[in-house]
Structures are given as structure tokens and as C-alpha cells.
Structure 1
Amino acid sequence: MSDSSGSQDATFVKTGKGFDRDMNYVPDRITKVVDGSPRTPEHGPVEGELWPVEAGRYRLVAAKACPWANRAIIVRHLLGLEDVISLGTPGPTHDQRSWTFDLDPDGRDPVLGIERLQEAYFKRFPDYPRGITVPAIVEESTGLLVTNDFPWITHDLSFEWREHHREGAPDLWPADLREEMEEVMQRVFTEVNNGVYRCGFAGSQEAYEEAYDRLWTAMDWLEERLSSRRYLMGEQITEADVRLFTTLARFDAVYHGHFKCNRQKLAEMPALWGYARDLYQTPGFGETIDFDQIKEHYYVVHTEINPTGVVPQGPDPAVWLEPHGRG
């Protein structure tokens, strides 16, 4: 089973312990370099098999409910890869076995023809021991899982698929900002993206309070940083913004109450709230957010935290369209 992040245990909360995310993913990558040619530093390390960049060959499977999958949907849209890499969208809830395509006719992905993403995993790795996570990239012709390594998926959409980007696509990894950006993204990941899960899945009061303090230290840091710049790295949108946005979009609807991250609502932090609405109103961001699916996923799947399965009606999503004043 996976949580919306890709945790690999059917039980998320370990009594008396903190939440520890399993970061072991299928390390294969889709790259321009597959024949042993010299690689530049921007390609990054190679740990798995390499698959060739080829338009029309792959399908991105990414549930809109999941923040980590939502990243890939946004980056695909921003770079104009919609006609190059197809998109399959599982429904917002899943059982202990797998994400399912219950939003599609007959409950099957219309391209892959499968009911469960698990089928693509097992076709490649019959004894796959971990959770069936999204995002995942599947080869359309064979139905084989290629990779589910979510940080590298979006990285490679920027670097390896560059020849297929739309004209005028943003540079989400500007060379002059890359070193600092990596540091910012690492802190955002450990303290915020994953920090809300540490709060929500804490198995003791001590673990929760430690996670809570770490999260809000980082949120205060972000509030201060965004008080003097429009985006995380300055005046242009980068992958760092994509990675933070998907957590902020879920904050008041899910993390504030469901995960007990309740010192403040996002809407009560002026810089972060204005920044989040600024991104939401930017083409490629807001249209990827489905608040109904997001709430249904967390409140229905996480039965240990919400055993009744009751899904809250609020907050009103219309507030995301209010003027942000950051232009």
C-alpha cells in the first residue's frame, strides 16, 4: 500500500515511533544518453537502467490526489510535454494493494488496459517488494514499469526531454541558481513536504511535537524568505516552487487538521498565502489541483487517523482565486 507519497507500509503509524519514509525507488531513468557516452554533471548519477527519450513511448501515471505525483503533472504541463508523454490518472483512493483506475470507463486505464497500477509493477518485477507508488512511468507498448523515482522524474523532464519542450518553456533549473536551489529544495523536502507526514503519522506525543517544531521552523523560514522575493529563487519560477506548491495547496484542506499541523492556517501567513495563490493562478498550477480528490484521498485512505472516513466539506476553494498582490 502507498500513502499519497509512496510510503511502503500498510500501517503508516508506528506506535511509539516517528514516521520514516522509505526512499527506495526503481532507479531507472529516461535519458538522452543510453549508450555509455560521456555524461555532463546535469545528468546526475546513474544507478539503474537507462531508457531512451522517445516521444509517444511512455505514459506518466500520476494521481491528482498525491502531492508527489502532482509535481510531475505540473512540470509536464509547464514544459509543454502533453503530446509527448501521455497521462494516466488513478482515482483518489486505493486499497492495500494498489492505486486503481476507477475514474476511467470500466475501471481500466484507456491506454495501458490495466485496472491496477500494480499490474505494470509486477509485469516488470514479479516479486516487487515495496508499495505501488505514484508517480510512475510505464512503457506503453509493453506495459512495463520504467521508474517510480519521483525526484528524478521531474528532473529528467527538464533536462533529458529538452528537445521536446514547447517554445518558450520555462527553465526550471537555471544554471546560475542551481547550487542554492538544491539546498532550498532539500530543506523544503525534509522539513515541509515530508514534515507534514512526520506530524500526521507520528506514533508518540514526543515524535509529534518534534515533527511539529521542525515543520513550523521551516514554515517561518519560508514566510521570511518569501516576504522579500516573489518566488523561492527570486523572480522566476523554478522546480523549487513546484515542489513547495503541492504541499501548500493541501495545507489548509488536509494537513492543518488531518495531520495536526495546526499552529496556523496557510491563509494566516501573508507571504506564503500570497505566494501560494500567485502560483495557483499561474497557468500549469491551479488546473492540476482537485480539492475534492485531495480530501477524499487523505480522509478515506488514512483510516488509522480518520477511522470514520468522513470527508470535510471545507475550506472553500474560491479563496484561491482572490487577488494575491505579488505581481
Structure 2
Amino acid sequence: MSNEDADSGTESSGGYVTTGEEFVRDTNYIDNRITRDGIGPEGETFPVEPDRYRLIVARACPWANRAIIVRRLLGLESVLSMGMCGPTHDSDSWTFDLDPDGVDPVLGIPRLKDAYLKRYPDYPRGITVPAIVDIPTGAVVTNEFRQMTLDFSTEWVEHHREGAPDLYPEQRREEIDDVIDVIFKDVNNGVYRCGFAGDQRAYDTAYDRLFERLDQLSDRLREQRYLVSDTITEADVRLFTTLVRFDPVYHGHFKCNRSTLSAMPVLWAYARDLFQTPGFGDTVDFTQIKQHYYMVHTDINPTAIVPRGPDLSNWRSPHHREELGGRPFGDGTPPPPPRDGEVVPAGQGA
């Protein structure tokens, strides 16, 4: 892994910071898409088909967490199975530590890298989650996390559950795209630019940019319940997965310590509102999140000690955001409880 692939696992274990350099994320992913017509580049076809693909995630990873949330909100569980890697990875790949004998029960592989190499024998980049694997061939289809959840909303429509929300409404897509672009650059990736900064200048620049954006988002959310409309959209999913990791990880581990999330009243109430919404907080495994960051990033935390705090019970405290109005699922309904095998273990959530 180059240090650009911050949540993958290649190169030397724990090597994420390059002294004297700003952190720059490698955004060159496998960009195939699974679409209704299945037409892709170079004659490759990946049509939407029930039970053909497997979504591989790790609860620890924020990029994968949003795929878990969107799959759940849209009700794709019955047509798109999900495999879970453990919270830590070795220097080579994410691994299926949580499964019996360390092997994914559907794909029959111990390492996610095996699916990448099945398609590209000399694959040179980081082994990242989320990834979608073609079950019949055992080969990875895509790891392009930015497009993946949008396609869940737009290309898998025929398989959405009854009452699924419209997370990417056509009439608001331009605005949603603008919002998720700045969230990615300044917040989602901004915390990594702080945590993996190779010198003081790079850190200071990233720190200022992060908190300036968080202040702007706070102002945006002061009088409206959600980021783009009066319902939850893709933009909210993307901001949530960073906010929910802020106090347990980013504040201390990544030195994003101007203030905790719980000391930013608007964003703290907004994050709790989403956390208490079915499909959000019930996908969050705080134990795995802390294990991943503190145990894998050993150049930042060489002892690999996982902190016992902070107290997370306050995620269930009243937020009063409902006073702003809004309809979380629009004309839709909340998703049912998580399926057996996909429930966060007791004591690992909030």
C-alpha cells in the first residue's frame, strides 16, 4: 500500500506517514459499475442481478460504513449479500478474521486480496473496502466507493424495499454532488490529512481547513435538519460516518483536537439525530473502529494501545432536532431491524 490508500493494507504494516510530505489520497480505483444495462468498458458487462454479487466491508472503515448504511436503508440485503472483514488488516490485505477458520463463507477466500488478484494478477494498488465481488468468478468488480452507493440508489431501484427512501433525488442531485464534494475534500479526507501529515505545515493547513469546513456545516445545519433537503440524502450518510468516528478516533489519534464533536452543539445534535435513526447507529461498531485505527496505524500509535474512552453512552441522549421538522425517510419508511449475522455485537455499539 502506498500511504495514499489509507484504509487498505499493503506495503509495511503501519506505514502511513511520509516525513516532510502532505498526505495525498490515491483516488485511482477500479471504476467498473454494476448497472441495469450492464454495459461497461472494454466489453465487460456487470448487470444488476440478484445474488450475483457480494459486498465486502469492514465496520471499522468509514467508506465501507456508508455502503453498509445505504444497502440497509434501501433494503438490498435480500439481493446483495455482505461479507465482513475484521477490524485490523495485515501488511498485505484485509482478512476475514471474523468468519470460521478465517475464510469468507461465500467466496471461500481468507484475504480480500485474493478477489483482486483473481481479476488482476498483478494488481499494484491498495486492497480497499468496500469492494464488490462477482460471486461466480470470485473476481473483484469495483472498489470505487464514491460511485458505489450512488449506484445502489439509481441502478438497483427495481430491488429496493417497499418504502425505501430516495437518497439521491434527481431534482437535488447537483446540490447533493456539490455538498458531498466539499465534505469529501475537507472532512472525510480532511481528518486523514491531519492524521497522516508528514510535517507541521501540512498538519496546520489540514487542521485549519477541516475546522473551517465543520464550522460552515454547522452554520448550514443550524436551522435545517438535514444537509440538502428536509429528508436524509446521500450527503448525510457521507458526513455521518466521519462524525461518528470523531471523538473515539480522530480527535486524539489524528490530532483533530480543536474541540470534540460533543463540544460542537449543532453537529453533535445532528450526528445523534442520525445515530438514533434506524440504519445508522445500528451499523456502528465502536469497538472495531477503535481497534482498527489504534492497532493498524502503528507509526502514529507505536504501542498499539487502544484507549478505553471516551464514554459513548451519550449517543443515545435527546437531540431535539425533530423540532426543526423534516421527514427522515421522506415518503418512505424506516428499514426493519438488521438481519441475523449483521447485528453489531452487544457492548460494541453505543
Aligned match of 1:266 in 261, 267, 271?
Answer: 261
Q: Secondary structure at the match of 1:231?
A: coil
Report what 1:311 is aligned to. Answer: 306
Q: Residue 194 of structure 1: CA displacement? A: 0.2
Report what 1:321 is aligned to. Answer: 316
Q: For 1:83 and 1:4, how far apart are their aligned partners in 2?
A: 31
Aligned match of 1:55 in 50, 62, 69?
Answer: 50
Report which stretch shifted further, 235-244 or 11-20.
11-20
Q: Which amino acid aligns with 2:199?
A: S
Report what 1:168 is aligned to. Answer: 163
Report what 1:76 is aligned to. Answer: 71
Q: For 1:203 and 1:5, how far apart are their aligned partners in 2?
A: 17
Q: Secondary structure at the match of 1:119?
A: helix
Please identify runs of 4+ aligned residues in structure 1 that moved more than 3 A. Answer: 1-10, 46-50
Report what 1:302 is aligned to. Answer: 297
Work out whether 1:100 is the aligned partner of 2:104.
no
Q: Secondary structure at the match of 2:321?
A: coil
Q: For 2:173 and 2:133, how far apart are their aligned partners in 1?
A: 29
Report what 1:39 is aligned to. Answer: none
Aligned match of 2:180 in 179, 185, 188?
Answer: 185
CA contact (8 A) 2:96 2:102 kept: yes
Deviations 1:107-143 (A, max 9, x none): 1111111100000001110000001000000011221
CA contact (8 A) 2:9 2:93 kept: no
Q: For 1:256 and 1:153, how far apart are their aligned partners in 2?
A: 28
CA contact (8 A) 2:10 2:93 kept: no
Q: For 1:132 and 1:71, how far apart are their aligned partners in 2?
A: 18
Name the % identity: 64
Aligned match of 2:35 in 19, 31, 42?
Answer: 31
CA contact (8 A) 2:9 2:89 kept: no
Q: Which amino acid aligns with 1:118?
A: K
Report what 1:127 is aligned to. Answer: 122
Q: Residue 8 of structure 1: CA displacement? A: 6.7
Report what 2:348 is aligned to. Answer: none
CA contact (8 A) 2:8 2:94 kept: no
Alignment of 1:188-227 (within 5 A): 188-227=183-222
5+ long unaligned stretches in structure 2: 323-350
Deviations 1:217-274 (A, max 9, x none): 0010011111010011131000000000000010000000000000000001111000
CA contact (8 A) 2:294 2:304 kept: yes
Q: Residue 7 of structure 1: CA displacement? A: 8.0
Q: For 2:191 and 2:45, how far apart are their aligned partners in 1?
A: 33
Report what 2:280 is aligned to. Answer: 285
* TM-score (structure 1 length as normaliser): 0.94
Work out whether 1:85 is the aligned partner of 2:89.
no
Q: Secondary structure at the match of 1:209?
A: helix
Aligned match of 1:233 in 211, 218, 228?
Answer: 228
Q: For 2:85 and 2:236, how far apart are their aligned partners in 1?
A: 25
Q: Which amino acid aligns with 1:288?
A: T
Q: For 1:190 and 1:274, how far apart are their aligned partners in 2?
A: 23
Q: For 2:91 and 2:142, how far apart are their aligned partners in 1?
A: 20
Q: Secondary structure at the match of 1:71?
A: helix
CA contact (8 A) 1:29 1:48 kept: no
Residues 225 and 35 of structure 1: CA distance in aligned 2, closer, same or farther (over 3 Å): closer
Q: For 2:278 and 2:287, how far apart are their aligned partners in 1?
A: 20
Report which stretch shifted further, 173-182 or 76-85.
173-182
Q: For 1:78 and 1:50, how far apart are their aligned partners in 2?
A: 27
Q: Which amino acid aligns with 2:34?
A: I
Report which stretch shifted further, 187-196 or 173-182.
173-182
Aligned match of 1:151 in 146, 161, 164?
Answer: 146
Q: For 2:81 and 2:240, how far apart are their aligned partners in 1?
A: 23
Report what 1:22 is aligned to. Answer: 26
Report what 1:40 is aligned to. Answer: none
Residues 8 and 215 of structure 1: CA distance in aligned 2, closer, same or farther (over 3 Å): farther
CA contact (8 A) 1:7 1:131 kept: yes
Q: Which amino acid aligns with 1:280?
A: F
Deviations 1:148-179 (A, max 9, x none): 01011111111000000001101011122111
Q: Which amino acid aligns with 2:23?
A: F
* TM-score (structure 2 length as normaliser): 0.88
CA contact (8 A) 1:7 1:21 kept: no
